Structure 1
Amino acid sequence: MSLETDQQLAVGSSIPPFTSHAISVSLPTWTDNVEYEEGTKRVVEAMVTGYPRFFIHRSIQKLAGICEQKFGVQGERCLLFPTRKVAEQCREFMIDRSTKAGSPVPVRLVQFTICPDVADPSAPCRELHIVLFPGDQFPLAKQFWQHTGLGISSRLAERCLSLLQQQSGGLDSPPPTNGRPPVKPGNRHYSAKSMGKSPPSSPSTIHARYGGSIAEQSAEMLSKDHLNYLEERYGRNMPLESAGAAKRAMRRRIAGVLVRDTPNDWSTAGDKGVALGPSTRGVEGVTEDDVFLYPTGMAAIWSAHQIILATQPAAKSVCFGFSYTDTVKVLEKWGPGCHFLGNGLDSDIDELEKLLEKESQSSSGPPVLSLFTEFPSNPLLRSADLPRLRQLADKYNFLIVIDETLGNFANVEVLPYADIVVSSLSKIFSGDANVMGGSLVLNPKGRHYSELKAHMAAQYEDVYFDEDAIYMERNSRDFRRRIRIIDDNALAVCSFLRARSFADPHPPADAIIKDVFYPKWITPHRYDKCRVRGPDGQPAGGYGGLFSLTFTSLEASRAFFDALPCMKGPSLGTNFTLACPYAILAHYGELDWAAGWGVERGLVRVSVGMEEKETLLKGFEKALSAAQAAVQQAAAGSQ
């Protein structure tokens, strides 16, 4: 069947489709991704939505426009935050960074409380904290929004707009962004495109379907989002006033202390009297009180670094392995700086040990502040030697923060080696890609636990919007069942692709895949060390749903990606298969640098979903055939 009949969501439309709070956006071809990064008008004007830390949701844009009109002066622009403390942190960041660059920028804070016309317990007052600054400083402000993940939720923005609508009897305001001062181009993630022209008022339509495709099966799963009102009406969503119980249920789920935690037990999981048992996280004494929720995974990462900065002597941190780009930015832009050991291999631990020995001789305090690592890493799926890193941390008195998002705690047990474990709940814990969230877990057996816990008791601020928590709790009830299906599907797909790659001991003559990056074959002994064990002591945890491919040529990468019949856009851990050209999306301004660490320009990253296994295999076989044909055509054309 021809590619033209394959279902693809139109460029710029939301993933999941027709979802108000979708956290991904369709970029279905390689060219679409490149032109998105370059800010091409065709793509920018088609953007209905985007990943929330990069593309400010249109409801937030509209609300920001109203706040600028109401409180701004002389072309000021603004960002919106949920509490005064977060707004002050944004102001502090902007002043600090601008001062280092030359001169401090003026930043103003305004508190805006929006109440319903009549007292209504179901519609309480909402509080906004507005950070106002000169319009040309928007790229700087956007850095704080992106790196910390602490901006207001799109659901909170919608509640505020609804209250304002009630007050005015019909809100009449200009489009959220048209006519605003232009933003000077800077780093691609801070450019004007994310707050550019108003997006279309409704998502674009889906192209024609073809039978039995990955995309068709995905669309069927996604359609359940259209039925959210049924979830609420028939009680599968907790009511909004039960947000506290929803958060308790999630914290217990993450702590691994619920004795019964099946989808049928959802109504009692947050009760104060529910039966709790010892944690399944591999560390004795973990409770729900050691788990803290955040509005995004990056907020958990940023907060972990802030907590350590506040409780330990100043020193540089270490980023171990090629971590997600914003993690590195957080370590570089807050505190004394960062040592980057980007390969994350045993040889890097040798280098780290030399660094620690050298620094300890010249400093009276710890040689480094902390070490941040992902297990496994994104997008190369490498797993660090956590026991050896733990030994070094104990010897040299620094803290270890492990991001378990890709492995996830149903598959891997990393808390015994960490002082803090962070995760993006927006990924497989949710699966539905319609809500953001993050978590931070303290290790009660860690040597720094007492001071970390005391700091959290005094300083932690719950800024996770209640309505987001309600949706996240609902989505996460069956996450262990979904993980098993996704693990199984990913293993089948990766086995199929690796047998047709140069990584196979006996590669086929027409192989065009160079390598399949997947924990079963990438540093497997390190990953297996931390796999969850069953009662018999044998590994029970899987390898996760994420893998990456490299190809023999850029033509092969492009053809494979374009022909792959699945959703395509940023994010991962979705219940449906989702792919992206990772280096293009995450490192477009530094492709040569990324390639130096093994993240090639043509790398394709795939997050496998819950579609039927045979359908998945047929889809990947089709994409592989298209890539082989493109390579053959290119070879014929060069002769």
Structure 2
Amino acid sequence: MAATMTTTLSNQQVALGGSVPPLTAHAISVSLPTWRDVVGYEEGEQRVVNAMVSGYPRFFIHLSIQKLARICEQKFGVNGERCLLCPTRKVAEACRAYLVDRSTKAGSPIPVRLVQFLICPEGEKDCANRGIELHIVLFPGDSFPLAKQFWQHTGLCISSRLADRCLSMLPEEAPVARSPTAPSFVRPPTKPGNRHYSNKSFSWTPETSPPLSKSPSSGRWSPAAPGETLSSDQDTYVEERYGRNLPLESAAFAKRALRRRIAGVLVRDSPTEWSIAGGQEAEVGPSTRGVESVSEEDVFLFSTGMSAIWAAHQLALGARPAAKSICFGFPYTDTLKILEKWGPGCHFLGHGLDKDIVELERILERESANSSSPPALALFTEFPSNPLLRSADLPRLRALADEHDFLLVVDETIGNFVNVEVLPYADIVVSSLSKVFSGDANTMGGSLVLNPRGRHYAALKAHMAQSYEDSYFDEDAIYMERNSRDFKQRIEIIDGNTLAVCSFLRARSLAAADAGPRTVVKEVFYPKWQTAVHYERCRQPGGGYGGLFSITFTSTAASHAFFDTLRCHKGPSLGTNFTLACPYTVLAHYVEMDWAAQYGVEEGLVRVSVGLEEREELLKIFEDALLAAEAAVESQ
């Protein structure tokens, strides 16, 4: 298996601002090759900003979406209004509610307008079936950073593929009707308070994904050379003709296959069985997710992993009595923002260690004494956490949830259900499918699974039946189904590679018995060594420890030298089929690094997501980076 699924580290260096993966129109990462580049990105440095043609989709609005938004602003905007584009009216209303709520709390509510725009293919008579309904949220131009928060936190707005579809149906040469007071779109750059909510614009995009060609030697698919770029229709034909993608008309089939794959009910689920995975003839059986009664009907798909988390919180707010939520452990940044900004707020226990459960018990007892309602709405935790790879004591949290009648929501993105099984302890399990489930880093997606054995299952399922809407764009689902066919096989290779790299680095760290004065590695964060007893309790037979680890150093000079020397892709995201690294704290918490440090997330932390490369080649690049870190310290 490994021989047919490896990739190479050679020629992986991508210029600053280029898409990662290279030559991929819908790439979900961007190249930030040096520590200085990452800092420049956070500070809005023109050298970096002007180079960027890609980025993580919830932080960087894809250039196709920007282009479509400009058209909508010209067509419908007045008095300098800007807009966000939403796939459904319900999402647009949620966006409006957020803008009004947050601006009111800041002192002055802003006016927000909703416009429904039905886009029809040129010359198409049956627009109801072939058209796309776009929902436009218009607001004052200077409120764009606030609107960007909604985009980032919820992950609910339109995807780049949906934007491309809309653009393909709009006449290219037709002039756009414009109000005399519509905004000018040449905007001077502004210095952002928070880079993630910035008001910057960018100016170039490839219009289609490069076609894929299959290597006879490796068996893997890769982008064709730049000179071979095809049109969107040709690209779709190539994908479907050679069996890589299902036809676009088979989106319902693809989504059913995804839900069955996530539910663990497919009796045969391998790269050779994909053609029937979503069909009626597919053989399904009891779930392998640790709860046999789980079915595809308990799995709900979303456009991003964060939208699945947002939906889980909205589900809890809608189905349970109002109360604060609990965030247990240091989470990915937007999970905490969701719990803080929607509903009554949350209690944050940022270390996620056993001592925090003692504090949790005090909070529950105090809240119970003050109210006859449950003391908490829901507890959210990652298993393991990002970036410290800590795993909570799920049986103990489950017992507290039962005792005090709150929901337990577990994000399994980092662990993934091949390696760990957390569903038996949870009421709701969420995951970002954009990560290792996909691997190819060219599409987004998320999932939410209800535990049918949970005490609140009936109420949660009934609420989902009323509130859930499928806004996952069909073409994104088609790509996700394609990418996930070999998910289980890839995990085994990635697990082995990561364990080898982490073992090598830990043997050269302060944790080693023979650590000497030249040692620069402070700590390697990996589930094998972090809160290991809790991880092991949930580890599947034969499961590994995942593909993500973090590393800290004895000095900032060592951190910078290690990262800059590492010969792999550098940028946001994780779970890719190729190794990907980033200075996580700088990238995710640049304006709050002192706060993050209180919870052990140091400024110099480097997070690494290991891929499918040849193991010896991987070990060599980490050895070279480590030697550079040691040399940097010695030269001081």
**TM-score scaled by length of structure 1:** 0.92
Measure the CA separation in 2 of the matches of 1:45 and 1:356. 50
Match of 1:277 in 2: 285
Contact 1:135 1:181 in 2 (8 A): no
Measure the CA separation in 2 of the matches of 1:632 and 1:187. 35
Alpha-carbon shift at residue 501 of structure 1 (Å)? 0.3
For residue 380 of structure 2, what is the amino acid of its counterpart? Answer: F
Contact 2:556 2:604 in 1 (8 A): yes
Measure the CA separation in 2 of the matches of 1:577 and 1:122. 44
For residue 620 of structure 2, what is the amino acid of its counterpart? Answer: K
How has the CA–CA distance of structure 1 residues 619 and 171 changed in structure 2, closer, same or farther, with 3 Å as cutoff?
A: farther
Measure the CA separation in 2 of the matches of 1:258 and 1:7. 36
Match of 2:385 in 1: 377
For residue 87 of structure 1, what is the amino acid of its counterpart? Answer: A
How has the CA–CA distance of structure 1 residues 310 and 484 changed in structure 2, closer, same or farther, with 3 Å as cutoff?
A: same
- Spell out, residue by residue over 1:597-632, the C-alpha distance to the aligned partner (whole angstroms, 9 max, x if none): 100000000000000000000010000011111111
Q: How does 1:133-148 map to 2 (within 5 A)?
A: 133-148=139-154
Measure the CA separation in 1 of the matches of 2:280 and 2:603. 51
Contact 1:245 1:271 in 2 (8 A): yes
Alpha-carbon shift at residue 391 of structure 1 (Å)? 0.1
User: Structure 2 regions of 5+ residues with no counterpart?
Assistant: 1-9, 209-216
How has the CA–CA distance of structure 1 residues 224 and 484 changed in structure 2, closer, same or farther, with 3 Å as cutoff?
A: farther
- Residue 548 of structure 2, aligned match among 536, 546, 549: 546
Aligned positions, number: 606
How has the CA–CA distance of structure 1 residues 188 and 42 changed in structure 2, closer, same or farther, with 3 Å as cutoff?
A: same
- Residue 429 of structure 2, aligned match among 413, 418, 421: 421
Contact 2:246 2:478 in 1 (8 A): yes
Measure the CA separation in 1 of the matches of 2:547 and 2:274. 25
Are 1:470 and 2:478 matched, yes or no?
A: yes
Match of 1:537 in 2: none
Alpha-carbon shift at residue 172 of structure 1 (Å)? 11
Measure the CA separation in 2 of the matches of 1:183 and 1:78. 18
Secondary structure of the 2:170 match is: helix
Are 1:85 and 2:90 matched, yes or no?
A: yes
Measure the CA separation in 1 of the matches of 2:503 and 2:151. 39
Match of 1:192 in 2: 199
Are 1:131 and 2:133 matched, yes or no?
A: no
Secondary structure of the 2:586 match is: helix
Contact 1:45 1:199 in 2 (8 A): no
Secondary structure of the 1:46 match is: coil
Contact 1:135 1:183 in 2 (8 A): no
- Residue 250 of structure 2, aligned match among 242, 246, 251: 242
- Spell out, residue by residue over 1:370-389, the C-alpha distance to the aligned partner (whole angstroms, 9 max, x if none): 10000000000000000000
Contact 2:100 2:110 in 1 (8 A): yes
Contact 1:177 1:197 in 2 (8 A): no
- Spell out, residue by residue over 1:151-196, the C-alpha distance to the aligned partner (whole angstroms, 9 max, x if none): 1010010010010036x569899xx994148667333210123xx2
Measure the CA separation in 1 of the matches of 2:475 and 2:169. 16
For residue 457 of structure 2, what is the amino acid of its counterpart? Answer: Y
Match of 1:527 in 2: 535
Measure the CA separation in 2 of the matches of 1:444 and 1:13. 44
Q: How does 1:502-581 map to 2 (within 5 A)?
A: 502-533=510-541, 540-581=542-583
Alpha-carbon shift at residue 318 of structure 1 (Å)? 0.5
How has the CA–CA distance of structure 1 residues 121 and 139 changed in structure 2, closer, same or farther, with 3 Å as cutoff?
A: closer
Are 1:118 and 2:124 matched, yes or no?
A: yes
Match of 2:601 in 1: 599
For residue 391 of structure 2, what is the amino acid of its counterpart? Answer: S
Q: How does 1:217-296 map to 2 (within 5 A)?
A: 222-223=222-223, 230-296=238-304
Alpha-carbon shift at residue 284 of structure 1 (Å)? 2.5
- Residue 592 of structure 2, aligned match among 587, 590, 612: 590
Measure the CA separation in 2 of the matches of 1:598 and 1:575. 28
How has the CA–CA distance of structure 1 residues 350 and 513 changed in structure 2, closer, same or farther, with 3 Å as cutoff?
A: same
Are 1:76 and 2:81 matched, yes or no?
A: yes
Measure the CA separation in 2 of the matches of 1:88 and 1:145. 13
Secondary structure of the 2:310 match is: helix
Match of 2:461 in 1: 453
How has the CA–CA distance of structure 1 residues 493 and 270 changed in structure 2, closer, same or farther, with 3 Å as cutoff?
A: same
Alpha-carbon shift at residue 531 of structure 1 (Å)? 0.4
For residue 65 of structure 1, what is the amino acid of its counterpart? Answer: R
Match of 1:55 in 2: 60
Match of 1:325 in 2: 333
Secondary structure of the 2:389 match is: coil
For residue 54 of structure 1, what is the amino acid of its counterpart? Answer: F
Match of 1:621 in 2: 623
Match of 1:155 in 2: 161
Measure the CA separation in 1 of the matches of 2:224 and 2:300. 29
**Which of 355-364 and 376-385 deviates more?**
355-364
Match of 2:72 in 1: 67
Are 1:434 and 2:442 matched, yes or no?
A: yes
For residue 185 of structure 1, what is the amino acid of its counterpart? Answer: P
Contact 1:23 1:51 in 2 (8 A): yes
For residue 29 of structure 1, what is the amino acid of its counterpart? Answer: T
- Spell out, residue by residue over 1:360-415, the C-alpha distance to the aligned partner (whole angstroms, 9 max, x if none): 11111011111000000000000000000000000000001100000000000000
Measure the CA separation in 2 of the matches of 1:566 and 1:37. 21
Measure the CA separation in 2 of the matches of 1:186 and 1:378. 25
Measure the CA separation in 2 of the matches of 1:368 and 1:378. 24
Match of 1:489 in 2: 497
- Spell out, residue by residue over 1:454-510, the C-alpha distance to the aligned partner (whole angstroms, 9 max, x if none): 011111000000000000000000000000000000000000000000022332442
Measure the CA separation in 2 of the matches of 1:187 and 1:602. 20
Measure the CA separation in 2 of the matches of 1:556 and 1:404. 32
Alpha-carbon shift at residue 222 of structure 1 (Å)? 4.6
User: Structure 1 regions of 5+ residues with no counterpart?
Assistant: 204-216, 534-539, 635-639
For residue 300 of structure 2, what is the amino acid of its counterpart? Answer: F
Measure the CA separation in 2 of the matches of 1:171 and 1:260. 52
How has the CA–CA distance of structure 1 residues 410 and 614 changed in structure 2, closer, same or farther, with 3 Å as cutoff?
A: same
- Spell out, residue by residue over 1:247-301, the C-alpha distance to the aligned partner (whole angstroms, 9 max, x if none): 0000000000000101111110000232101000001210000000000000000
For residue 16 of structure 1, what is the amino acid of its counterpart? Answer: P
Alpha-carbon shift at residue 511 of structure 1 (Å)? 1.0
**TM-score scaled by length of structure 2:** 0.92
Contact 1:426 1:436 in 2 (8 A): yes
Secondary structure of the 1:9 match is: coil
- Spell out, residue by residue over 1:227-258, the C-alpha distance to the aligned partner (whole angstroms, 9 max, x if none): 96533222321101100000000000000000
- Residue 347 of structure 2, aligned match among 339, 342, 346: 339
Measure the CA separation in 2 of the matches of 1:177 and 1:502. 57
Secondary structure of the 1:77 match is: strand
RMSD of aligned C-alpha atoms? 2.3
Match of 2:316 in 1: 308
Secondary structure of the 1:128 match is: strand
Measure the CA separation in 2 of the matches of 1:276 and 1:42. 53
Match of 1:212 in 2: none
Measure the CA separation in 1 of the matches of 2:611 and 2:84. 35
Secondary structure of the 1:54 match is: coil
- Spell out, residue by residue over 1:46-89, the C-alpha distance to the aligned partner (whole angstroms, 9 max, x if none): 01011000100000000000000000000000000000010000
Match of 2:112 in 1: 107
Measure the CA separation in 2 of the matches of 1:94 and 1:172. 27
How has the CA–CA distance of structure 1 residues 125 and 8 changed in structure 2, closer, same or farther, with 3 Å as cutoff?
A: same
For residue 392 of structure 1, what is the amino acid of its counterpart? Answer: L
Measure the CA separation in 2 of the matches of 1:378 and 1:619. 23
For residue 223 of structure 2, what is the amino acid of its counterpart? Answer: S
- Residue 509 of structure 2, aligned match among 501, 515, 526: 501
For residue 273 of structure 2, what is the amino acid of its counterpart? Answer: D
